[in-house]
Chains A and B, each alone.
Chain A
């Protein structure tokens, strides 16, 4: 996160597994829903 800040960004994103979510929240990450939705196609 410090490297990202050193690159000039004021914020950062992470795509977390369910398992890791709590660990990242401890680092200051919060849920952010910007409207991305996933659909699954099977033959």
Chain B
């Protein structure tokens, strides 16, 4: 791994990422078929592949942790047969990951997290002629964003329309969505979530038939 001009020894960075991910899942809370619990733990379960089933926070006293883990799985098990549990460095008890491993749940990297320093951002990549990016401004564009995303991810994403349209597009919106066009043809889509103390990019997709042309553009393929 290259040396980062970034101090990852403090807890701010993982806490910001954790809060950002929870803010993302909260966008879907309460939609049909989507169940969440948001207190000393945060978990989210839905009946669809996306946004998926995930536990994102635990904050329990040492002494009650084992019973709380049992209770959490009993709760989640009422709605799903499986779930991912992302353990962050600030979660409690501090040995939560080791406790889960002792239960036969080995831990692995929680996705590919990439970081970019924007203070040294260059001129940007070469983009295809006619390529331009537009923010999603209304429900009509949101529907178009969903169509591009469904083609890119190869899955049904109607709940994303419901969640993002419900959140809205005004100046107070922190969940921002973009469509990349070649001329007037929508060819790629993505989301910027400004929440929890950081700005994180999600949902980037490009339908297979456009990937060769768009891959070098600022919204690459999943």
**Interface residues, chain A, CB within 8 Å of chain B?**
1-5, 7, 9-21, 23-43
Contacts and interface: CB of A to CB of B under 8 A. Distances in A.
Nearest to A17: B222
Interface of B: 1-2, 4, 6, 8, 13-14, 17, 20, 73, 76-77, 81-89, 97, 100-101, 105-122, 124-125, 176, 192, 194, 198-202, 204, 215-216, 218, 220-222
A1 B6 CA distance: 18
Nearest to B76: A41
A37 B112 contact: no
A35 B88 contact: yes
A23 B221 contact: yes
A39 B101 contact: yes
B87 A37 contact: yes
Contacts of B81: 42-43
Contacts of B114: 13-16, 21, 24-25, 29-32
A20 to B, nearest CB: 5
Contacts of A41: 73, 76, 82-85, 105
Contacts of B119: 10-11
A9 to B, nearest CB: 5
B2 to A, nearest CB: 5
Contacts of A38: 84-87, 107-111
Contacts of A28: 116-117, 120-122
B100 A39 contact: yes
A4 B220 contact: no
A43 B77 contact: yes
Contacts of A37: 86-87, 97, 107-110
**Which one of B100, B113, B117, B121 has the greatest number of beta carbons of chain A within 10 Å?**
B113
Contacts of A30: 1-2, 4, 114-116
A33 B17 CA distance: 12
Given A4-B199, A10-B119, A20 B107 contact: no
Nearest to B119: A10
A11 B111 CA distance: 19
Given A9-B198, A10-B118, A20-B222, 20 more contacts: A4-B194, A4-B201, A11-B117, A13-B113, A14-B114, A14-B201, A14-B202, A24-B114, A24-B116, A27-B116, A30-B1, A30-B2, A34-B14, A36-B87, A37-B97, A37-B107, A40-B82, A41-B84, A42-B81, A43-B82
